[in-house]
Structure 1
Amino acid sequence: MEQSFSDISLYHEYRSARETEHLVSQKTWDDLNLDDFFEWADRTSSCVGRQYLYDVLHYNRLSEISEQEEVIRKLSADKELRAEIRSELRKLDTPDAYTIASLFSISHPVYSRRFYRLLTILQFAPFVLLGIVYITSSLYVLGILCTSVLVNMVLHYRSKARIQGYFFSIPQLWQLLRQAEKLAQIPLCASVYRDIQKTLQALHPLRKKLSTFRFSIRLESDIAIFAYFFTEIVNVFFLREVIPVSKAFFLLRGRQEQIEEVFRYFGLVDVLCSVSELRDGLPYYVLPEACSEGETFHAEGLYHPLIERCIPNDITLCGKSVLVAGSNMSGKTTFIRAIGLNLLSAQVLHTCFARSFRFPMDTALYSAIHLEDSLMEGKSFFLQEVQIVREMLEAGKECWRFFLLDELFKGTNTVERIAIAKAVLSALAHKNSIVFASTHDVELASLLEDEYELFHFCECVADNTLSFDYKLKPGPVTERNAIRIIEMCGYPQEVVREAYRLVGKGKM
């Protein structure tokens, strides 16, 4: 099914307005290309599952998914059971199912008890008056009957106008409750949330009322059209739709939290199946672990899952942060993104794209990787970076913090860039913080060698060809190949000679 982020994000928009703690910033979401990661990782079978997955990826904390490893393991081992569960989940894979999330954020119509009593009288009035007309043939009573039907017609169509916004969401809510009940009958699914049976039982009266909503009669034949008009006449005459709809609204207002519980239960089951299938297709993966004593971070065979045939890398830290040097295209930015993506996936999906992955479990994630000038806001990317880094410096220290920084302050002159970058990186690299920073400035290595572990990526220039091995190597950069590369690319010889001359004299 074609993805529509405006539909998929409906539930997250509602939830993020209420719950802001541990929320991944839009900057970090964009830096890590998490829209692309979501599309790649999504193996859900329902729109509800898709919305749930999109929402949990926006929270940098241990998710409900991480508590369900035993369920994921059983789903991976029993493909037939997983297929059975997914067949139930697919009943909510129509675009209309996205609208269920809108029910959480709107105010439902309110009717008084007096109005309910009036509706009950008006519902039975045509029955009684029709019987009297049949017995007495009274024109006076016939007039009252016509008035009664007219009043019912007005009420019917006024009610219909009020529920137009529920045209898609209410039938899908009914389907959600129905399918959740079916899932809850499967022991493995019931174990995901022990109280789901109790919640569904409390919502059973609502489900019965919702069954009255029958908006989706398809007018594709004369018989269907006749059935629609016959049903509409019955609904108008006896208020067959208005009364259950009014009671359904009353029940909706008092049950929103329980409805969201069912929504999240259904979405969680779907995402557990999705994670199970995702893992089946990976070259390898590992479950995250806490750091061993003396260790602050460890990754072996770490790779970026969105890059085909990605070269894996290893890294272990024991207190220091990381400064990675290297030329463009050598792999340093991809490596930093892979670190961030694995940190988020470890906490949210309980899945790491590595052979071994250990980190402080309670972490916050900050980034400044991809910056552009904002013409609409009149901000250069340098000014944006200044503001983002200030927020990092002001961030709380209650939990471990990971800072991902790519070529700090490249929008300003060399002398000030190196000075500011050194001061900022020193300030960030204190207790309960790990910085992964990349740079072109080899001068930073000597300034930060006491606080940072130094690593680099390098290119190979041979036989007029440029190649990269994308392997992380310990220590600072020892070779400079930029002038050799421009020479290979056909720059005029006088330009190349002048560049070599200036470097040789130490002018640069």
Structure 2
Amino acid sequence: MKTETSTLAQSLQTSTPRLKKSERGYTADMEGYMIIFLVVCFIVIAFVLGLRDKYNARKYLLGKLIKNYGNPPARQYKADDLDHVTGYFKNHPEDAQIDDITWNDLGMDGVYKRLNYCLSAAGEEYLYYLLRSPRQEDDFKSFEDQVTFLQENDEDRRKIQTIFWETGNNSRYSIYDYIDYLENISGTGNTRHFVMIALILAAIGFCFVNFALGFIALAILMLVQIVSYFRIKSDITPYLVTYGYVMRVIKSIDKFSGIRAEVFSEDIRELNAISKEFSSFRAGSSILLTSAQTNSSGNPVDLLLDYIRMVTHIDLIKFNQMYKQLMAKRDRLDKILEITGRIEAEVSVACFRASFENGYSIPEFTGDSYVAKDLIHPLIDGAVANTIEAKAGVLLTGSNASGKSTFLKTCAINTILAQSIHTVLGTRYAAPFYRIYSSMALKDDISMGESYYIVEIKSIKRIVDKSKTPGNKVLCFVDEVLRGTNTVERIAASTQILKSLAENGVQCFAATHDIELTALLKDIYEIYHFEGDVTDNDVKFDYKLKEGPATTRNAIMLLKVLGYDENIVENAQKMADGFLEFGSWEQSTC
């Protein structure tokens, strides 16, 4: 009996540990499965939340596009928001483009902002190029057909805007800047990377022959790879922004296939053909470009792949392959940016027109006269409309603050709009094609040691020189001719310069305070003026253009309106009246 009891006790003692061990194994397995389950759940949840956020963002965008259509752009610009917009323009120089002096004189940055409804960098850059490159012949048919379609088909317009929203912006720099920088990259060969991968595989294989030596060799190779990886990756990281933007632009081409409009069919066919040329560029790009660069939803798997990238350098290898393809197809990428940029610029024009409903017209390019009816300035709320018809140049006189400079800018800006976006803010515009220049808001150049007068005569000289080169007629706008020098020489020099411009076929719109010029140039220039009504306590202007020279002066009366001492005002008026009567300041001195 004792023997049986002892045997049973030993059996229980030996079986009990085995049961506990089995339970521990089961528990460990369950913990492992739970961890895997939680990781999978995390990935799925992240993916679903990413889709939800993208859906909500798209829904918000569509609501905003519907609500804001027909209104001015609501965008608030930061200091560096326009740094990149010159990229396409600088890389596509043409004759008769708007030069920097004219662009700044007319405040065209403000006009660009008023016109800019773009959501992608390509659209913003092409729109800027469009405004600075007035066409020199009437080839607007396709442009007008596409803009009209966008005006009349709200749903298609919003589909296209959504595509560009998903493409987004590159950064504060133009993609052309990055591509130029890419040319300076050295060491883009993959031989070294392939050799290191081969050595790592050899070390792994050697582990089965001599584990200790194989493992040491593998560890050293992996350490070398990781150290060199961070060094090389830091050099190429700035350029990944470019790669990511190029990828988004190329991927957007697929979405254009959903636009069934005949007016865009040729553009879409060309985009699809170019996209196929970039198929190898796209293939495997996710190895290099994380979700941050491609602007897609988050993907936690990238964190796991980072370790593989560090050891194998597969993303660096792909970078070099994409680099060679990008450099070889720069002209094709440029064509993609041209077509997509133009389409979004046309969207902006459609939105711009809607914001001036019944206040714009399509220009007519005909005749040799400048005919403009009810022109307004795009940046002035409640602007007074003016009409002018001039076969020759125009000499504009009038009171201070009566509207001369604004009128010149209104004419110049609308001429640029007519020849760039085929849109005029007025009820009619009929004129030939011009090369457009101005000399208005000049400043002395301290850095060059040049006075205002030197800067001014250089500015006008460039217009004289341009008039002697082949091309369309030059239309120029000059505010206060030669204001930087004394009266006698100013009138004499201004007369001869304005005569010379007319003799060289230039149609010049010039504003001046020198009434004498109207008598000296009345046979060459058409004379118009603005005037105001100055009372003892106020000054009122109707800002309406009138024919003939100005008959009133208000500079001294404005002193009184602004509260100057009465003695200053009265004595100044007596001096002016005395000079007009006697022709001498000595006889009019008070």
Equivalent positions of 1:337-348 (< 5 A) are 337-348=409-420
1:71 paired to 2:143: no
Q: Which stretch shows the higher mean deviation, 121-130 or 403-412?
A: 121-130
Shift of the 209–404 alpha-carbon distance from structure 1 to 2, 3 Å rule, reads: farther
- The one of 576, 581, 584 equivalent to 1:505 is 581
CA distance in 1 between counterparts of 2:132 and 2:418 reads 13
- The one of 308, 319, 328 equivalent to 1:254 is 328
Shift of the 500–18 alpha-carbon distance from structure 1 to 2, 3 Å rule, reads: closer
CA distance in 2 between counterparts of 1:448 and 1:81 reads 55
SS at match of 1:409: coil
Maintained 8 Å contact 1:322/1:454: yes
Equivalent positions of 1:317-466 (< 5 A) are 317-318=390-391, 320-361=392-433, 363-395=434-466, 396-398=468-470, 399-430=472-503, 432-462=505-535, 464-466=537-539
CA distance in 2 between counterparts of 1:2 and 1:234 reads 43
CA distance in 2 between counterparts of 1:462 and 1:357 reads 37
Maintained 8 Å contact 2:170/2:245: no
Shift of 1:324: 0.7
Maintained 8 Å contact 2:96/2:435: yes
Shift of 1:190: 4.1
CA distance in 2 between counterparts of 1:136 and 1:504 reads 112
Q: Which stretch shows the higher mean deviation, 237-246 or 351-360?
A: 237-246
Shift of 1:238: 2.7
SS at match of 1:364: strand
1:495 paired to 2:571: yes
Shift of the 488–56 alpha-carbon distance from structure 1 to 2, 3 Å rule, reads: closer
Shift of the 163–89 alpha-carbon distance from structure 1 to 2, 3 Å rule, reads: same
Shift of 1:54: 2.1
Residue equivalent to 2:165: 90
Structure 2 counterpart of 1:456, one-letter code? H
Deviations 1:63-85 (A, max 9, x none): 98774111110110011111111
Maintained 8 Å contact 2:256/2:268: no
Maintained 8 Å contact 1:330/1:458: yes
Maintained 8 Å contact 1:8/1:98: no
CA distance in 1 between counterparts of 2:561 and 2:315 reads 78
Shift of the 288–5 alpha-carbon distance from structure 1 to 2, 3 Å rule, reads: farther
Shift of 1:206: 1.0
CA distance in 1 between counterparts of 2:476 and 2:351 reads 31
Maintained 8 Å contact 2:529/2:550: yes
TM-score, scaled relative to structure 1:
0.89
CA distance in 2 between counterparts of 1:68 and 1:305 reads 21
CA distance in 1 between counterparts of 2:431 and 2:266 reads 29
Structure 2 counterpart of 1:457, one-letter code? F
SS at match of 1:335: helix
Shift of the 99–374 alpha-carbon distance from structure 1 to 2, 3 Å rule, reads: closer
Shift of 1:14: 6.5
Residue equivalent to 1:314: 387
Residue equivalent to 1:130: 204
Shift of 1:431: 5.3
SS at match of 1:408: coil
Deviations 1:423-474 (A, max 9, x none): 0000001354210001111110111011111111111235743211111111
- The one of 164, 167, 179 equivalent to 2:240 is 167
SS at match of 2:389: strand
1:101 paired to 2:173: no
Maintained 8 Å contact 1:32/1:337: yes
Maintained 8 Å contact 2:365/2:431: yes
Residue equivalent to 1:44: 118
Q: For structure 1, list consecutive stretches of 5 or more residues without a partner in the other structure.
A: 219-223
Shift of 1:109: 3.5
TM-score, scaled relative to structure 2:
0.77
CA distance in 2 between counterparts of 1:243 and 1:443 reads 75
CA distance in 1 between counterparts of 2:350 and 2:250 reads 24
Maintained 8 Å contact 2:398/2:552: no
Structure 2 counterpart of 1:86, one-letter code? Q
Deviations 1:217-241 (A, max 9, x none): 69xxxxx998565322111233321
Shift of 1:340: 0.9
Shift of 1:25: 1.7
Shift of 1:214: 3.0
Q: Which stretch shows the higher mean deviation, 121-130 or 340-349?
A: 121-130
CA distance in 1 between counterparts of 2:513 and 2:473 reads 27
Residue equivalent to 1:202: 277
CA distance in 2 between counterparts of 1:332 and 1:356 reads 21
Shift of 1:185: 4.3
Structure 2 counterpart of 1:350, one-letter code? H
Shift of 1:95: 5.5
Equivalent positions of 1:124-163 (< 5 A) are 125-127=199-201, 129-133=203-207, 135-136=208-209, 138-163=211-236
- The one of 375, 384, 389 equivalent to 1:302 is 375
CA distance in 1 between counterparts of 2:473 and 2:203 reads 75
Maintained 8 Å contact 1:24/1:59: yes
Maintained 8 Å contact 2:398/2:553: no
SS at match of 2:526: strand
SS at match of 1:10: coil
Structure 1 counterpart of 2:185, one-letter code? P
1:237 paired to 2:308: no
Maintained 8 Å contact 2:397/2:515: yes
Maintained 8 Å contact 1:374/1:381: yes
Maintained 8 Å contact 1:455/1:474: yes
- The one of 532, 536, 548 equivalent to 1:475 is 548
Shift of 1:102: 2.6
CA distance in 2 between counterparts of 1:162 and 1:89 reads 30
Structure 2 counterpart of 1:322, one-letter code? V
Shift of the 414–323 alpha-carbon distance from structure 1 to 2, 3 Å rule, reads: same
Maintained 8 Å contact 2:88/2:125: no
CA distance in 2 between counterparts of 1:482 and 1:217 reads 61
CA distance in 2 between counterparts of 1:17 and 1:100 reads 11
Shift of the 18–298 alpha-carbon distance from structure 1 to 2, 3 Å rule, reads: closer
| Structure number having the greater helix percentage | 2
Shift of 1:193: 6.0
CA distance in 1 between counterparts of 2:523 and 2:580 reads 29
CA distance in 1 between counterparts of 2:232 and 2:577 reads 84
Shift of the 5–186 alpha-carbon distance from structure 1 to 2, 3 Å rule, reads: farther
Shift of 1:42: 0.8
Structure 2 counterpart of 1:313, one-letter code? N
CA distance in 2 between counterparts of 1:501 and 1:346 reads 45
Q: For structure 2, list consecutive stretches of 5 or more residues without a partner in the other structure.
A: 1-74, 585-590
Q: Which stretch shows the higher mean deviation, 69-78 or 208-217?
A: 208-217
Computing the radius of gyration over CA atoms, which structure comes out larger, 1 or 2? 2
Deviations 1:100-131 (A, max 9, x none): 3333322153557xx53553454355445435
Shift of 1:367: 0.9
Residue equivalent to 1:221: none
